[in-house]
Amino acid sequence: MCQIFSHQDPDRYACTTRRLRLNGQSTSIRLENSFWAILDTIAEAEGTSTPAFISTLHSEVLEARGEPANFTSLLRCTALLYIETQKAPEAGIAAE
């Protein structure tokens, strides 16, 4: 039953750290490669770079809710929400 999950390429869940600037501050973010791939896809769809997309997202979260407790978790959930909206756009799930 779980072979599709247990036999996946280990590179999918290997972690990569990327350095970028958030609101002018240099930082690094460590995520699994699968999440980076989705964030790269989102950024490309938005016509921007991944660092610029992440920086914009961070700024919007700061404005809406203040500093997120766990920004990397927010990025993972952003990737999941993107996948959900691609699979079920009729469900009314949309990024605002």
What is the average per-residue pLDDT within 6-20?
95
pLDDT in tens, 36-91: 999 999 999 999 999 999 999 999 999 999 999 999 999 999 999 999 998 865 55
pTM for the whole structure: 0.86
Residue 67: per-residue pLDDT: 92
- Give the model's confidence band at 24: pLDDT under 50 very low, under 70 low, under 90 confident, else very high: confident
State the Cα–Cα distance between residues 34 and 95, nearest whole angstrom: 20
State the Cα–Cα distance between residues 61 and 94, nearest whole angstrom: 16
Residue 96: per-residue pLDDT: 46
Whether the pLDDT of residue 25 is over 50: the answer is yes
Asked whether the beta carbons of 31 and 16 are under 8 A apart, the reply is: yes
